[in-house]
Chains A and B, each alone.
Chain A
Amino acid sequence: MIDDHAAVLSAAAAHFNFGRIRVVSDQPLLIETERGMKKIRVWENNALLKIHLKWRERVSGDQFLVDRMYVTRAGYPLVRLGRLSVTCHDAPSLLFKQEGNEKTLAQLIDYLFQNSRGIPAEKPVGSYNAYVHQLYEQTKNSESVQQSEIWSMVSACFSSACARAETADRLRKAHHGRSTVFLLPEDFSYHSFFSLFDTIFFEIGQSRPVNGYGRIAAFFLDKSLMCSEQSMHRLFEAVRENGSMDREMVDLLLAEWYEPAEWVRLLHYGASSRVQDNDLIIQEFRKIWDRKIKLIKVFESIVMQP
């Protein structure tokens, strides 16, 4: 790998025309050059690289910046290095401040809804309700779970979890069979956004493209936990004002929040004998469960307004 590392740096310097290179970090590989800080990505999976090249082509627009591949002196977006491919990207450092900039963020989300579409890497989920039932039936007969505090909570919320799973299934059912779906990187988070010259620099990164509704729902949930309630209201209002959220988007986003994934996580904790702090886990579960219900209400009251 050390040889690979040296070869990668030497290839980057030669093909991307950098005069001097200083390695700032190895993971991710950040280099300082006379043209600023750059991120070097090494790809072992060429099929994934091809998907990313096309994805960036679709997502690049005139409103936002995206971590596109630099072209080499010969005009190619990558350097072949044996079985590996090397790409070079911008590496901005200033994270995008979401509080107060909800309108810009909503515009980007709207733009991604419209343009970041394709075939996701993972297979579509089946009935979540059936999964919840199956999981509960399988686990409840185990003796170890019966006495635990976590299991009491799991049992108490079972019927609600089923109801939520059923709603999620119902919302998704209407939109099954679409050839392309909204895509986001698997590691999508608020760390994917940077501020650059009055706009957002969106980092697609290097991970698989997955169903974007799950990622964006998790992003909204994280944001609601981190930011003020007013900020969340402003973001949903800005999303509504953009006016491009169609029925499919609304249903699939709601389905992600209805899906009781936190209950499934709690069930797994309940089944595990290694869990130490029951209170903390239950507290965390309650926080997410309640927050999701609140988020659904706020979203429906703002975005689904006639």
Chain B
Amino acid sequence: MNIEALQIFWPFSIFVIMLFVIGIYYVLATYNLIRALLGLEIMIKAITLLLIVAGYVSGHVALAQSLVITLIVIEVVAITVSVGIVLGIHSHTNSLDTRNLLEKTHEG
């Protein structure tokens, strides 16, 4: 394995961490359910980037790619089901605000 590839690992990791921080902040600070899902997506993007960089650095590009493809399939299924749940919540409470959701739960 060449040293050059190893040297790019830390700069890429910094950006992975920054992307992950954006995702976590978005999920924590928003009250909208769709925005929370978008935050989750950002975190998944950070992990995808980390996997690709790790594969490139270690020389296991094919293995990293197969992992990323699996991750993308899982991501799509998770988002589809989550979007269905969000639509169900909207049809019941007529709102996407998590604060309203908590109020309705306490009432119910």
Partners in one complex: no
Using a CB–CB cutoff of 8 Å, the interface residues on chain B facing chain A are: none
Listed in ascending order, the chain A residues whose CB lies under 8 Å from chain B are: none
